[in-house]
């Protein structure tokens, strides 16, 4: 877990490894940049902490992690903390208290810091105009954008762009190229192998170490490509119909490849297990993959659970070809965007699941309690306990176990153990 150091005498916070050498008695530590900013500190110009991963610690309460997932999905873009807390079934006051206790910020402060940091990365890395960056980062207006950047970085967007370094600029052969930062270790080979094994035909592919997939934004098609970048980041190349809300595209891409959480505590506690411990020692950079499309992952889990490999492939291929939105001219065997639940209510094997999701009886937005999510999935005809746990694992549940055998000894971190088991068996 990255810890940020803030210096009382300068009002500046830094990431680990910065060359600054303050006196120890003048230093405060924070687990999130947002918490340092809420306490009145600004980002160091030398080490630029906005360019590293700032994941929430995996020992934070699951309720807080679910709230963070909803914020990342954009819940606070169009509504306030009251709507977020209502979605989680608690009062806004209680939610703010939990955020203060475990993250050091309010939900609004957390969201604002994320938008500002993402915008700063776009100012460094891309050639997008100031207005495009404002809306790409999720700000509602240029005025709001300018105010937030002044508050967080003590400078205007124009001044911040003028400060960028020559090596920051990412040369793009089409599309918008961005860094997806992570705190090492991170095992891209293992993660891309996991995704390749589960790639939905026509929608996803993994070739030469590059993961590609089609997406749809408000009915318009796009393409994402994710691959190796450097020792502390992957590279995302996004071909999108528009730039508004790009922050959410990038966050969803990061969650897909497991960059939204660093399993520090989970690895520590599982390392002593006689079966999983050696697997973690061999591949310490394995994370739990997430999902671009939760419904897509649910459909795949049900089909793969009911049918053997080749038959499952054929059914998924047919679902995509018949019901998906065509996306021509992409190559890499990518042809369609995955269909939504309303289109698949009469489809083979997954019709009941699609009906329940379309009716709102099964909620796949990541804000549902893991036990409630699994129970709602198990209540759907054709969805086994094993498939329900597979879906929960990909949607961020810490303690899902998509196997038939018992693994009580691995609680409450069975999801990470499950990914290691899957990779060791493949």
- The residues annotated as belonging to the active site are 14, 405
Contact by Cβ (8 Å): 15, 49: yes
Contacts of 280 (CB under 8 A, 6+ apart): 267, 270, 271, 286, 420
Contact by Cβ (8 Å): 215, 292: yes
Extended beta strands in 141-190, E state: 176-181
CA dist 106 and 35 (Å) reads 9
Contact by Cβ (8 Å): 125, 235: no
**Helix 188-197 crosses helix 414-425 at what angle (to 10 degrees)?**
80
β-pairing, 261-262 vs 56-57, is: parallel
Contacts of 155 (CB under 8 A, 6+ apart): 149, 163
CA dist 239 and 245 (Å) reads 14
A 10 A CB-CB count for 143 gives: 10
Task: Name beta bridge partners: 140.
Answer: none
H-run or E-run covering 402? none
The b/e string for 111-134 (b: 16+ C-beta within 10 A; e otherwise) is bbbbbbbbbbbbbbbbebebebbb
Contact by Cβ (8 Å): 110, 34: yes
Token output for 165:
């370094």
H-run or E-run covering 303? helix 294-306
A 10 A CB-CB count for 169 gives: 13
Extended beta strands in 146-239, E state: 176-181, 204-207, 210-217, 220-230, 233-239
Contact by Cβ (8 Å): 306, 349: yes
Mind giving me the DSSP string for 356-390?
Answer: HHHTTSS--SS-S-HHHHHHHHHTSTT--HHHHHH
CA dist 34 and 227 (Å) reads 28
Token output for 221:
């098609």
CA dist 419 and 424 (Å) reads 9
Give the rounded distance of the alpha carbon of 331 from its chain centre: 26
């Amino acid at each position: 877990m990255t810890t940020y150091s803030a210096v009382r005498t300068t009002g500046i916070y830094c990431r680990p490894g910065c060359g600054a050498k303050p006196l120890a008695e003048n230093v405060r530590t924070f687990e999130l940049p947002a918490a340092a900013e809420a306490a009145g500190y600004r980002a160091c110009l030398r080490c630029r902490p906005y360019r590293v991963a700032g994941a929430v610690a995996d020992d934070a309460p699951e309720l807080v992690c679910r709230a963070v997932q909803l914020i990342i999905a954009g819940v606070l873009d169009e509504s306030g903390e009251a709507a977020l807390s209502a979605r989680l079934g608690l009062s806004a006051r209680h939610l703010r208290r939990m955020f203060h206790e475990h993250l050091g910020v309010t939900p609004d402060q957390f969201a604002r810091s994320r938008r500002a940091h993402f915008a700063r990365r776009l100012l460094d890395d891309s050639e997008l105009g100031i207005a495009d960056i404002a809306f790409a980062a999720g700000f509602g207006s240029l005025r709001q954008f300018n105010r937030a950047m002044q508050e967080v970085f003590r400078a205007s967007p124009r001044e911040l762009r003028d400060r960028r370094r020559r090596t920051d600029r990412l040369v793009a052969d089409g599309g918008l190229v961005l860094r997806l930062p992570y705190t090492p270790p991170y095992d891209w080979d293992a993660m891309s192998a996991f995704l390749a094994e589960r790639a939905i035909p026509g929608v996803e592919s993994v070739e030469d170490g590059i993961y590609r997939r089609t997406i749809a934004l408000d009915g318009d098609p796009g393409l994402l490509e994710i691959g190796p970048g450097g020792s502390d980041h992957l590279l995302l190349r996004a071909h999108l119909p528009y730039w508004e809300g790009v922050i959410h595209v990038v966050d969803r891409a990061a969650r897909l490849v497991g960059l939204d959480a660093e399993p520090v505590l989970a690895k520590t506690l599982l390392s002593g297990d006689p079966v999983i411990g050696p697997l973690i020692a061999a591949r310490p950079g394995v994370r739990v993959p997430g999902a671009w499309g939760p419904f897509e992952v649910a459909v795949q889990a049900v089909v793969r659970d009911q049918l053997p490999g080749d038959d499952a492939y054929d059914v998924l291929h047919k679902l995509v070809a018949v019901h998906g939105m065509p996306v021509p001219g992409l190559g890499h065997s990518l042809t369609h965007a995955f269909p939504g639940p309303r289109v698949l209510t009469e489809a083979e094997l997954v019709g009941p699941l699609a009906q329940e999701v379309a009716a709102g009886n099964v909620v796949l937005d990541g804000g549902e309690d893991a036990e409630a999510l699994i129970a709602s999935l198990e209540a759907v005809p054709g969805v086994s306990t094993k498939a329900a746990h597979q879906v929960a694992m990909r949607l961020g549940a810490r303690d899902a176990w998509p196997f038939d055998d018992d693994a009580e000894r691995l609680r409450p971190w069975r999801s990470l153990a499950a990914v290691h088991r899957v990779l060791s068996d493949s």
